[in-house]
């Protein structure tokens, strides 16, 4: 089965300029774009290694492309940790922070991370910085009575990735959103268009419909289910995954391992010069027994 999944798409633009004459010089530019798309290939729960360019089939806006090169696990990571500060997860907060902080040991000197908080609005707590820098202690305020989950994920996902770096967003949340401007139904589309891959480490579940009381409790349960489903759809659209492990340190380790195992495929696009959104298809040449997840498109400027 071929499933679209993980992948940062980066376009490298190599421009050559030729000056003819010193005065009133006409400038000729030759530009070659290289598209890089990452893809996770799994056999069951195990990442597959050792694949080469010939093992992948790529189409760009439906036009088959030649994969020039493939690398695995070499690109540095940009990780955005999205931390839910809302009252509803206060009991799990300290454990999550400890587990997320512990992830520092799994990161390399060239990796970077930033921390974003879900409050009643999105807040960037720490801008992108080397992941090996000391992390300040994290506490939560006593009261954060509402949660802008969709807005915060929008902020985390919206920034286009930097060339030669891969962007991973990990959100820790119960999935409840009570205060976003953004309609959470929009999240999957945003995640689909984003460079970053979204992983969710979940805690808590909304009450089942029959368990919720009438009135406000029922409304809240419905809202919670809707926003949580939107989050799951966004995770799928970005080619990430949802982790529900009670051992959150293990969940983080699994995410990093999976994300690092992604291949980066590079190709020089042929026959697809139009700017704007390009639809990608990446499949395995020999798909038997493999699950392949790769980005479904990229923006060409």
Partner 1 sequence: MTTQLIRLGLACVLATSLLAQESLQSPPSGVVATALDLYAAGSVDTALATRPFDLHTAASAIGELDRWVGPTVEASAPAAAMAQWQRRAQVAARFAVDVTAQREITREVFAMPLGDPTREGPGSVLFHFQVPDIPPFDHERFSAPIVAWACAHMPADGPVAPWEEPWWMASIGLLQDAGEWRMLAGDPRESRQGDPTRAWERAVYAQVKVGHLAEAVARLGDRPRLRLATVVTRSASLIDLSQRFTVGGGSPVGGLFARPDVLRVLEDFARTVNSGRFAEFERALEALLNEPTLEAEVALRLAQLRVMRRDWPATTRWLDRAEAATTDDINRATVDYFRGWVFERAGREDDALRLYESAYTRFPQSPNLNTLLAAQLMRVGRRSEAAKVIEAFMLQPFDFGRRDLWRILVAGEGRYVRGYARRMREAQ
For partner 1, which is the closer residue by CB, 81 or 251?
81
Provide, for the chain, the percentages of residues in helix, strand and coil under a 3-state DSSP scheme, each rounded to the nearest 5: 25, 35, 40
Tell me if 194 contacts partner 1 by CB under 8 A.
Answer: yes
Contact flag: residue 155 with partner 1 (CB under 8 A): yes
Q: Name which position in 21, 44, 137, 215 contacts partner 1 (CB under 8 A).
A: 137
Rounded CA separation 141/86 (Å)? 9
Give the Å distances, CA to CA, from 145 to 118, 178, 205.
11, 9, 18
Query: CB of 286: closest distance to partner 1 in angstroms?
Result: 31
Of the two residues 48 and 89, which places its CB atom closer to partner 1 in the complex? 89
Among 96, 179, 224, 259, the residue binding partner 1 under the rule CB under 8 A is 179
Please tell me whether residue 36 binds partner 1 under the rule CB under 8 A. no
Shortest Cβ 176–partner 1 spacing (Å): 15
* Cβ 234 to partner 1 shortest distance, Å: 12
| Phi, psi of 73, deg, nearest 5 | 75, 15
Q: Dihedral sign for Cα 278, 293, 83, 183, please.
A: positive
**222: contact with partner 1 by CB under 8 A:** no
Q: Residues 11, 106, 126, 128: which binds partner 1 (CB under 8 A)?
A: 126
Q: Determine contact, residues 150/223, Cβ cutoff 8 Å.
A: no
Phi, psi of 217 (to 5 degrees): -60, -40
Give the one residue of 145, 163, 209, 289 binding partner 1; rule: CB under 8 A.
145
**Distance in angstroms (rounded) separating the CA atoms of residues 256 and 60:** 28
Q: Does 41 bind partner 1 (CB under 8 A)?
A: no
Name the segment binding partner 1 (CB under 8 A); options: 11-19, 22-30, 131-139, 243-251.
131-139
Give the footprint of partner 1 on residues 86-115 (CB under 8 A).
Answer: 115
Reading phi first (left if > 0) and then psi (alpha if -120 to 50, else beta), residue 153 is in alpha
User: Which one, of 127, 168, 155, 187, lies nearest residue 252 by Cα?
Assistant: 168
DSSP state of 59: E
72 neighbors 263 (Cβ within 8 angstroms) = yes
Strand-strand pairing, 291-294 and 27-43: antiparallel
Nearer to partner 1, 43 or 139 (CB): 139
**Closer CB to partner 1, 11 or 34, in the complex:** 11
> Footprint of partner 1 on this chain (CB under 8 A)?
85, 115, 117, 119-126, 136-141, 143-146, 148, 151, 154-155, 158-160, 179-183, 186, 189-190, 193-195, 276-277, 297, 299, 301
């Amino acid at each position: 089965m071929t499933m679209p999944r993980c992948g940062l798409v980066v376009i490298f633009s190599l421009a050559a300029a030729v000056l003819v004459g010193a005065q009133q010089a006409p400038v000729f530019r030759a530009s070659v774009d290289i598209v890089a798309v990452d893809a996770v290939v799994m056999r069951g729960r195990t990442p597959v290694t050792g694949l080469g360019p010939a093992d992948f089939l790529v189409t760009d806006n439906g036009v088959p492309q030649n994969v020039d090169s493939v690398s695995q696990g070499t690109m540095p990571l940009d990780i955005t940790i999205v931390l839910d500060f809302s009252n509803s997860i206060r009991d799990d907060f300290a454990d999550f922070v400890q587990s997320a902080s512990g992830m520092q040991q799994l990161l390399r000197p060239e990796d970077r991370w930033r921390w974003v908080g879900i409050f009643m609005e999105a807040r960037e707590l720490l801008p992108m910085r080397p992941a090996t820098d000391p992390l300040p202690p994290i506490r939560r305020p006593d009261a954060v009575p509402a949660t802008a989950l969709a807005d915060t994920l929008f902020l985390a996902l919206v920034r286009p990735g930097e060339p030669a770096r891969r962007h991973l967003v990990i959100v820790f949340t119960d999935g409840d959103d009570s205060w976003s401007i953004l309609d959470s139904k929009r999240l999957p589309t945003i995640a689909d268009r984003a460079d970053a891959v979204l992983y969710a480490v979940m805690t808590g579940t909304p009450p089942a419909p029959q368990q919720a009381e009438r009135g406000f409790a029922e409304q809240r349960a419905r809202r919670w289910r809707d926003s949580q489903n939107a989050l799951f759809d966004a995770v799928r659209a970005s080619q990430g995954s949802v982790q529900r492990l009670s051992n959150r340190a293990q969940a983080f380790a699994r995410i990093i391992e999976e994300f690092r195992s992604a291949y980066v495929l590079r190709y020089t696009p042929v026959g697809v010069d139009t700017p704007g959104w390009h639809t990608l298809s990446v499949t395995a040449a020999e798909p038997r027994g493999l699950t392949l997840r790769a980005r479904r498109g990229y923006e060409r400027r």
